[in-house]
Amino acid sequence: MSEIDSLKAQLETLQSEALAAFSAAIDLVSLQQMRVNYLGKKGALTEVLKGVGKLPPQERPVIGQYVNQSKSVLSAALDIAEAGLAVAAKAERVEAERIDVTLPGRVGATGALHPVQRGLDEMTAIFSQMGFAVAEGPEIENEFHNFDALNIPPEHPARAMHDTFFVEQMGDEPMLLRTHTSPVQIRAMKRFLAESGEPPLAVVAPGRVYRCDYDVTHSPMFHQVEVFKVDRDVSMAHLKGVLKHFLSTYFEKEVSIRLRPHYFPFTEPSAEVDIGCVFCAGKGCRICKNSGWIEVLGSGMIHPNVLKSVGIDSDEFSGFAFGLGVERLVMLKQGIPDLRMFFENDVRFLRRMGS
């Protein structure tokens, strides 16, 4: 075989070997290496060109042309292989980063308000929208605010009925956990009179209260909302109007109410308030014990002695007051059968009821 034919054969072998290698390359890095190996300054093609020196001068351009042709074939093949691998790499990335947009989202666990707190906030907001100012008082009270000023003198049987928790004395003064939010009536009236001299005043006082009691409808700690208004010519009609508006707003439906004569030391006359059963609409069911009515709170016209205890002239001013149990109303609204569920802290219950 002549020198030139042998060089040509060498070139052909090199070229087909290179093309096979390019198409088998698995990544861009190895293709880059192949480019250097075949087409680089010290690459295989340059090596072939070195043999050209052995050829007679008139044959040299011929083989030079072959080499150049091979160069462009290989260079084009490398470009194509590179582009192919780039596309494959991209497809691989897309596949690897693929997300399933039909999967349900991951919702972070958020906290929720306790159903009692939510009820307390809702109730306070309703009164506050009606113009009642929000007031608070201490949970550790003295006997004066919890009893005496509310017309419950020391030997009064109502003191025993309150199942009071007494705590350590302050000097000579017995202290207790307030048994109701009514003492806030006294504190708020005193504060208000010191600030502005005389009624009108309208107050809503939400808060925690304590009684030594524990069963399906009683817990030693529970919540009340106390509401009262003092002005000239306040009557039971105002009381009834406020109650009706409040109860219908809270239960999100028109509820009927009924005032039943009752006794509370701090009101005269006093009434217990019933609502038409929210479960059977008055037809009679297990919850209302077939009466069609459910008792929800205590109310009345503030006793003259209570007004006197804070220096309000009971000839000139009158007031209504009522106090309600928050847990009881939340139970009625949400259909919760046992009051103790509020305080057992079972997260399944709290998640379902909280918000």
Indicate the residue among 266 and 293 with the shorter CB distance to ligand DAH.
Answer: 266
Among residues 276 and 298, whose Cβ is nearest to ligand DAH? 298
By beta-carbon proximity to ligand DAH, the closer residue of 74 and 301 is 301
**How many chain residues touch ligand DAH (CB under 6 A)?**
11
Q: What's the CA angle centered on 318, arms 316 and 321, to 5 degrees?
A: 165
Stretch that binds ligand DAH, among 7-15, 101-109, 138-146, 321-329 (CB under 6 A): 321-329
Token code pair at residue 163 = 């199942």
**Cβ at position 304, least distance to ligand DAH in Å:** 14
DSSP secondary structure code for residue 105 in this structure: P
**Residue placing its CB nearer to ligand DAH in the complex, 38 or 228:** 228
137 binds ligand DAH, rule: CB under 6 A: no
Please identify which residue in 322, 328, 331, 353 interacts with ligand DAH, judged by CB under 6 A. 322
Shortest gap between Cβ of 302 and ligand DAH (angstroms)?
7
Letters for 139-178 (x = contact with ligand DAH by CB under 6 A, - = none) are: ----------------------------------------
Q: How far is the CB of 135 from ligand DAH (least distance, A)?
A: 13
In this structure, are residues 303 and 265 in contact, taking their beta carbons and an 8 Å threshold? yes
The two structure tokens encoding residue 295: 């008792």
DSSP E strand boundaries for the chain = 133-134, 140-142, 166-170, 173-177, 201-210, 221-231, 257-264, 267-276, 293-302, 318-325
206: contact with ligand DAH by CB under 6 A: no
Burial of 205 (0-12, 13-18, 19+ CB in 10 A): buried
Q: Which of 43/298 has CB closer to ligand DAH?
A: 298
3-state DSSP helix/strand/coil percent for the chain, to nearest 5?
45, 20, 30
Distance CA 235, CA 249 (A): 22
15 near ligand DAH (CB under 6 A): no
| Rounded least distance, CB 193 to ligand DAH, Å | 18
Distance CA 238, CA 130 (A): 12
125 in helix, strand or coil? helix
Asked if 121 contacts 273 with a C-beta cutoff of 8 angstroms, the reply is no
Please give the residues from 261 up to 320 whose contact with ligand DAH meets the rule CB under 6 A: 264, 267, 298-300
Instruction: Check binding of 321 to ligand DAH (CB under 6 A).
Output: yes
Q: Check binding of 226 to ligand DAH (CB under 6 A).
A: yes
- Our CB check for ligand DAH shows the closer of 226 and 274 to be 226
For ligand DAH, which is the closer residue by CB, 130 or 350?
130
182 binds ligand DAH (CB under 6 A): yes
Which of residues 93 and 260 has its CB atom nearest to ligand DAH in the complex? 260
Local structure of 123: helix, strand or coil: helix
Sign of CA dihedral 205, 207, 213, 219: positive
Cβ of residue 286: shortest distance to ligand DAH, in angstroms?
A: 25
Q: Is 253 helix (H, G, I), strand (E, B) or coil?
A: coil
Distance CA(242)–CA(218), nearest Å, equals 27
Question: Token pair of 290, please?
Answer: 């077939």
Shortest distance, CB of residue 251 to ligand DAH, whole angstroms? 20
What is the separation of C-alpha 106 from the centre of its chain, rounded to a whole number of angstroms? 16
The whole-angstrom separation of Cα 50 and Cα 62 is: 14
As given in the structure block, the two tokens for residue 3 are: 């020198």
Question: x/- binding map, residues 27-56, to ligand DAH, per CB under 6 A?
Answer: ------------------------------
Taking the least distance from each CB to ligand DAH, the nearer of 43 and 300 is 300
Summarize as ranges the residues that interact with ligand DAH (CB under 6 A): 180, 182, 226, 264, 267, 298-300, 321-323
